[in-house]
Amino acid sequence: MTASTPRGVFITFEGGEGAGKSTQVARLARTLGAHRTVTTTREPGGSTRAEEIRTALLAGVAKPYGPFAEALLFSAARIDHLDRLIRPALASGEVVLCDRFMDSTRAYQGAAGGLDAEAVAALERVVVGPTRPDLTLIFDLDPEIGLARARARAAGQEAQGAQAAPDRFEAEALAFHARLRDAFRAIAQAEPARCVLVDAARDPDAVADAVRAAVAARLPGLLDDTEGRTDAA
């Protein structure tokens, strides 16, 4: 990177099922895209090979092997995603908005899935290394509301003839989703310099306002050229 190349910015969106992350990734991308090159991506996935692993993971292929094996597969997908998409985009000075990243492994396979925190931390060290998010927005929502949103979306998709059965993690018991919420809140509390907790129970416009406020506070200058623009669909 030369002195004149703008530094890349890495923002991750985390939280439970149906919390509204994808909706807000798209909205923030529209806002920032007015003056910065923005790459939107997701985990698991984001690269061709990682999307193949996603399909297997969400179908529950690795579930019988337990949370450590699942964490290894999420990590394999993350390695490819980092190497092929995230690191090159950041090196080019782009803004990378990623729907889920390392905190989902901490919460889903670690806190809620029962995988030892030391094992999760060791994986994170070797897989993520120094490519840690500049900002992580943690969408906080009662899991019953999030799952209801996901079910309502699935009903709409089924009405249009698509198959929309709950995936491997949506199908977990409510107690699992309650542990997830606690885990994400604990991450936000433990790493306040990186994380901002966003109240995701409000309507999409109010959540978008909270996202913009967090970006303005934590990444001064990133939104400056977009003042007065709307990101509404």
Residues 194, 197, 202, CA angle at the centre, nearest 5°? Answer: 150
State which of positions 191-210 bind ligand T5A (CB under 6 A). 203-204, 207
Spatial neighbors of 187 by CB under 8 A, at least 6 apart, are 14, 103, 106, 107, 136, 138, 195
Under the binding rule (CB under 6 A), the answer on residue 23 touching ligand T5A is: yes
Kindly state whether residue 21 participates in binding ligand T5A, applying the rule CB under 6 A.
Answer: yes
Among 44, 46, 110, 133, binds ligand T5A (CB under 6 A): 44
Closest CA to 43 of 9, 76, 7, 65: 76
What angle do the packed helices 143-159 and 174-190 form, to 10 degrees? 120
List Cα–Cα distances, 62 to 9, 70, 165, 209, in angstroms. Answer: 33, 6, 18, 38
Distances from the Cα of 138 to the Cαs of 90, 184, 200, in angstroms? 21, 7, 9
153-183 as b/e: b if 16+ CB within 10 A? ebeeeeeeeeeeeebebbebeeeebebbbeb
- In the complex, the smallest distance separating the C-beta of residue 156 from ligand T5A, rounded to whole angstroms, is 7
Instruction: Compute the least distance from the CB of residue 146 to ligand T5A, in Å.
Output: 7
- Identify which of residues 1 and 232 has a Cβ nearer to ligand T5A in the complex: 232
| Region binding ligand T5A by CB under 6 A among candidate stretches 11-19, 31-39, 121-129, 184-192 | 11-19
Nearest residue (CB) to ligand T5A, 47 versus 109 = 109
Per-position x/- string for 209-228, each x denoting binding to ligand T5A as judged by CB under 6 A, each - no binding: --------------------
- Interface map 82-111 toward ligand T5A (x if CB under 6 A): -----------------xx---xx--xx--
Of the candidates 80, 10, 19, 78, the one whose C-alpha atom is nearest the C-alpha of residue 44 is 78
Instruction: Choose between 116 and 225: whose C-beta lies nearer to ligand T5A.
Output: 116
Instruction: Give the binding-site size for ligand T5A (rule: CB under 6 A).
Output: 25
Among 9, 11, 17, 136, binds ligand T5A (CB under 6 A): 17
Q: Which residues bind ligand T5A (CB under 6 A)?
A: 17-23, 42-44, 58, 74, 99-100, 104-105, 108-109, 149-150, 153, 169, 203-204, 207
